[in-house]
């Protein structure tokens, strides 16, 4: 299969490298500056087990490369609208699209534009972009894919993504898995962004009840939307956000405090809109959004 990885950041660079090293035909859709860097230096990926630099194939939006068989959308939500208008040139009637982003708004947008061609995707990897180098902190590298609205995962897609170094699986309820993750990262975002501290310090300040309220709010929205959070996901959220002395902070909080573009509207804003539509009260979520929006530079 011809595979197009949209974005060569932490997620795209890591998974793209593992696919390429397994012999898959991988091309990256990137910006012109990134294309220059990759053409000159290659893509360097440092994992817990190896440090390698591979020569890679790249294209930019104006390139006429024809349709790809599989497109992995790995950009952050802040770049999603831009790439949505660019990938059309690479989508054919038989193309499968797997977005790997937080939240659900991107799935809805892609489904509207390419009905029946979108699969749900959920990746777990702890990696960052250090300059132009992809660095993976822990060995965990998993990818779950599932059909939406009863659409099966094509066998050739499963075969293409099942490569060494990736814990790959096809799941029946991928929408439920996406909501499980969304509810957790939204609760974590509320906790860290509202109280402006890591979990351990919030607990020391007497914030345990508010942490549990944040978890309850996001899980109530998921349940009202028809995707109640699983017992395992709930237990994991409580365990992470109630760990004494923990230095845990959400990626949303880290981006905001670093002055970087954030996924606040994609993760929290979209959840708040759905909560209003479903008449689910979310006072902590609403307060967090006010604080974030009021603090953004004008």
The CATH number of the domain holding residue 89 is 3.40.50.720
Region of 131 (left: φ > 0; alpha: ψ -120 to 50; beta: rest) is: left
Note the pLDDT of residue 224: 98
How far is the CA of 237 from the CAs of 2, 43, 136, 229, 262, in angstroms? 37, 34, 23, 10, 22
Domain identity same for 168 and 183: no
Instruction: Give yes or no: residues 82 and 214 share one domain.
Output: no
Whole-number pLDDT of residue 298: 52
Q: Are 140 and 213 contained in the same domain?
A: no
- What is the structure's pLDDT at 150? 79
Q: How many CB atoms lie within 10 A of CB 182?
A: 24
Domain count, the chain: 2
- Residues 219, 166, single domain; the answer is no
Q: Are residues 115 and 62 in the same domain?
A: yes
Q: How many CB atoms lie within 10 A of CB 33?
A: 10
Q: 198 and 283 share a domain?
A: yes
Which range of residues forms the domain containing residue 44? 2-172
Start-to-end Cα distance in the chain: 46
Last residue of a domain, one of 155, 172, 189: 172
Give residue for tokens 């996901």.
Answer: 233
Q: Are residues 192 and 163 in the same domain?
A: no
Q: Which of 172, 205, 231 represents a domain boundary (last residue)?
A: 172
The CATH number for 209's domain is: 1.10.1040.10
Residue 9 shares a structural domain with residue 137: yes
**Are 289 and 189 in the same domain?**
yes
**HEC sequence for 250-267:** CHHHHHHHCCCCCCHHHH
What CA–CA distance (Å, rounded) separates 138 from 105?
28
Distance between CA atoms of 277 and 271, rounded to whole angstroms?
A: 10
Ordered mean pLDDT values, 10 residues apiece, the chain (298 residues): 95 96 97 95 95 96 88 93 91 96 91 94 89 90 92 95 96 94 96 96 97 98 97 96 94 89 94 98 98 80
Q: Among the three residues 144, 172, 200, which one is the final residue of a domain in this structure?
A: 172
Shared domain check, 241 and 167: no
Backbone phi and psi for residue 45, each to the nearest 5 degrees, phi listed first:
-130, 115
The pLDDT value recorded for residue 232 is: 95
Residue 192 and residue 234 in one domain: yes
CA angle 268, 190, 171 (to 5 degrees): 60
Question: The pTM is what?
Answer: 0.89
Instruction: Give yes or no: residues 25 and 135 share one domain.
Output: yes
């Amino acid at each position: 299969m011809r595979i197009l990885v949209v974005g060569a950041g932490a997620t795209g660079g890591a998974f793209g490298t593992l696919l390429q090293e397994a012999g898959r035909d991988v091309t990256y859709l990137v910006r012109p500056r990134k294309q220059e860097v990759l053409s000159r230096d290659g893509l360097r990926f440092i994992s817990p087990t190896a440090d390698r630099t591979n020569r890679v194939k790249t294209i930019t939006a104006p390139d006429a490369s024809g349709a790809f068989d599989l497109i992995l959308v790995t950009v952050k939500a802040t770049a999603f609208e831009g790439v949505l208008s660019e990938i059309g040139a690479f989508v054919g009637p038989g193309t499968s699209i797997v977005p790997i982003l937080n939240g659900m708004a991107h799935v809805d947008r892609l489904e509207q534009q390419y009905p029946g061609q979108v699969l749900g995707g959920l990746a777990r990897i702890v990696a960052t972009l250090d300059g132009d180098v992809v660095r993976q902190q822990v060995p965990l590298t998993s990818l779950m894919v599932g059909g939406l609205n009863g659409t099966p995962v094509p066998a050739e897609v499963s075969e293409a993504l099942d490569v060494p170094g990736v814990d790959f699986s096809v799941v029946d309820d991928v929408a439920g898995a996406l909501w499980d993750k969304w509810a957790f990262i939204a609760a974590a975002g509320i906790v860290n962004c509202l109280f402006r501290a890591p979990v351990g310090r919030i607990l020391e300040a007497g914030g345990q009840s508010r942490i549990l309220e944040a978890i309850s709010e996001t899980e109530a929205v998921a349940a009202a939307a028809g995707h109640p959070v699983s017992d395992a996901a709930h237990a994991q959220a409580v365990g992470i956000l109630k760990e004494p002395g923990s230095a845990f902070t959400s990626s949303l909080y880290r981006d905001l405090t670093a002055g970087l573009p954030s996924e606040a509207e994609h993760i929290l804003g979209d959840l708040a809109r759905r909560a209003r539509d479903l008449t689910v009260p979310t006072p902590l979520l609403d307060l967090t959004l006010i604080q974030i929006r009021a603090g953004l530079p004008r």
